[in-house]
């Protein structure tokens, strides 16, 4: 399966810790979606939003086991769904984690920034996100 990621999973050590996947991602864009911080957290979520776009990475050919680990990591707040992403002016189908309808009230108006996350938020995320305990395969992301 191909997976479009837009947040914490763009950080290679997080992706590898969660599911063991260590291949580089390909830059991709998800049209007609919005990426914002989850209220009170250092990680984002996405929702459909006409006219906006989300920059991210496409990881290719994930195994069933890797996808199972990622599903556990993301938990009930997200739903994996099919999207069309653009890579080098070509559209391809992938899966991504969208904010579940029941959790939409948790989305803030604050844009998420990868550089800010890596500098100021990753340690808090690694220490506090319970998805790491749900995903049992993979290394410690602090390694």
Catalytic annotation, residues: 74
Please give the DSSP secondary-structure letter assigned to residue 104.
Answer: G
Given a contact cutoff of 8 angstroms between Cβ atoms, the answer to whether 102 and 79 are in contact is: no
Given a contact cutoff of 8 angstroms between Cβ atoms, the answer to whether 33 and 44 are in contact is: no
User: Encoding tokens for residue 28?
Assistant: 């991709």
Nearest alpha-carbon partner for 94 in 33, 11, 17: 33
């Amino acid at each position: 399966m191909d997976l479009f990621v837009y947040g914490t999973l763009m950080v290679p050590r997080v992706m590898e810790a969660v599911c063991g996947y260590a291949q580089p991602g390909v830059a991709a864009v998800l049209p007609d979606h919005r990426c914002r911080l989850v209220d009170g957290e250092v990680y984002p979520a996405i929702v459909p939003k006409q006219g906006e776009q989300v920059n991210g990475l496409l990881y290719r050919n994930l195994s069933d086991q890797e996808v199972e680990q990622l599903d556990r990591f993301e938990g009930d707040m997200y739903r994996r769904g099919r999207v069309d992403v653009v890579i080098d002016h070509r559209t391809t189908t992938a899966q991504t984690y969208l904010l579940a309808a029941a959790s939409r009230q948790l989305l803030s108006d604050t844009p998420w920034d990868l550089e800010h996350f890596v500098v100021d938020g990753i340690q808090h995320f690694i220490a506090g996100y319970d998805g790491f305990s749900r995903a049992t395969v993979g290394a410690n992301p602090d390694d």
